[in-house]
Amino acid sequence: MYILTITCWSHNIEYHLFSRDDRALLAAGIVERVGLGGSFITQSVPGREPFRIEAGDNDHQSAVALIVATLSDPQHGIISDPQEISAVGHRVVHGGEEFRHSVRIDERVLNSIRTLQHLAPLHSVPNIAGIEAAMLHLPAVPHVAILDTAFHASMPACAYLYPLPYEWYQNYGVRRYGFHGPSHLYLSRRASVLLGKPVNDCNLITIHLDRGVSLCAIRKGVSVDTSMGMTPLEGVVMGTRCGDIDPGIHAYMMQMLNLSPKEMEQLLNNKSGVAGITGQRLDRQQFLQAALAGDPRCSLALEIETYRLKKYIGSYLAITGPLDAIVFTTGSGASEWRVREMVLEGLECFGIRLERDNNRALRSGAEEVEITAAGALIRTFVIPANEELVIAEDVAAVISGDRSDHRQYDYVFANADFIPAGSVA
């Protein structure tokens, strides 16, 4: 039997198929341009050549139907019948205060997720559409919600409350929630293994570095602070999101440009960050390569990005207690070495030193690598985050009744004998 994981964005759906018994990855794919016309699906199966099928016009419902059909396709599929899928895991960006761990989806849970969609409308709307579609096409199997926010439910009130009228928190849920929970969970468990310490004894700073970027301060294995806030807009500089700015800018520019709140929100989410500074919509590798080649505005954007990351690391050093390690995800490939160098440069006074050659030699982004220099007091790792495996693990735990809190669950990837994808046995 198999576990299907689904992550729905506005215009694409990523999916992975795992064996239920040992959580081996059997297939991975993506449906792109959902709702835009000219949609297509690409699927990869270990040991086979990837293939692509044009799909025409798709909404989320027909895109999920296409995924199920492709997985069971006689020529390109991996299963003989959709009924072999025994459970489906859905990444859900926002769980508010109600969901502190992964949960099986029923009508009550789905209604609760719907009531929270105003806290992250850009993400929650497609998340809900994917759940509804999958429950329609696979009605006989359990569906499980894995909440991005759940890992950060351990934050103390002093970290998650904003200095705003308290009634805003009571009546409207205005508080810090944090995101990228599966990524930070995976990084913390793998760092624990590499450090040779129980996760409950580990103090870490984990850095999810991709299209969206967030940091997490982890003390004794649990999140005590994180850079994203009530929405994924707060925090460090991202590809198209501004991160932290003076809140007075919102009202000022709305007056100057006669913008509606929705227009301002779109500008801050979709036309700011690296895209705003450079004036270009570049993918991550294009941006980094342009910065390394000396493009003035790309170089400036990289300086701003790494400066903000460094500031967050400094502030989190103050609240984690004695730090064991800083953990980076692999980001977007070969050129990320420069980001790590710029972020950690100048932190030698804290006992953080990078082994330059090991850092620059890291190219594939598939292996776990330590890049700590000799004599450093705080270790530094680069670890590819496997969010899909976290989702599959949580699905298996929830449907078996073994899962209530991530702090008590024995994840397979938290064991010393686990071999991450891309590593050599």
Please give the full DSSP string across 409-423, using - where no structure is assigned. Answer: ---GGGSTT---TT-
148 noted as active-site residue: yes
Domain boundaries, the chain: 2-147+388-414, 196-385
- What is 2-147+388-414's CATH number, 3.40.50.300, 3.40.190.10, 1.10.3720.10, 3.30.420.40? 3.30.420.40
Residue 72 has phi, psi (to 5 degrees) of: -105, 15
131 touches 382 (CB < 8 A)? no
What count of residues does the chain have?
Answer: 425
For residue 211, name the pLDDT band (cuts at 50, 70, 90): confident
Q: Which CATH architecture has domain 196-385?
A: 2-Layer Sandwich (3.30)
- Mind listing the pLDDT tens digit for each residue in 261-308? 999 999 999 999 999 999 998 888 899 999 999 999 999 999 999 999
Residue whose structure tokens are 């929705």: 262
Residue 236 has phi, psi (to 5 degrees) of: -85, 175
**Structure-block tokens of residue 268:** 């801050």
Kindly report the number of other CB atoms within 10 A of residue 135's CB atom.
17
| pLDDT of 332 over the 80 cut | no
Three-class secondary structure of residue 250 per DSSP: helix
Q: Which helix (H) or strand (E) holds 166?
A: helix 166-172
| pLDDT of 143 over the 50 cut | yes
**Burial status of residue 86 (CB atoms within 10 A of its CB: 0-12, 13-18, 19 or more):** middle
Q: Which entry of 59, 73, 106, 148 is annotated as an active-site residue?
A: 148
Identity of the residue numbered 235: G
How far is Cα 254 from Cα 314, in angstroms, rounded to an integer?
Answer: 33
Do the domains spanning 2-147+388-414 and 196-385 agree at the CATH topology level?
Answer: yes
Kindly report the number of other CB atoms within 10 A of residue 287's CB atom.
24
- Mind listing the pLDDT tens digit for each residue in 78-133? 999 999 999 999 999 999 999 999 999 999 999 999 998 888 777 889 999 999 99
For residue 425, name the pLDDT band (cuts at 50, 70, 90): very low
Q: Which of 243, 239, 245, 222 is nearest to 406 (CA)?
A: 222
Three-class secondary structure of residue 251 per DSSP: helix
**Structure-block tokens of residue 319:** 């609240």
pTM of the model: 0.94
pLDDT at 407: 74
Q: What percent of the chain has pLDDT over 90?
A: 79
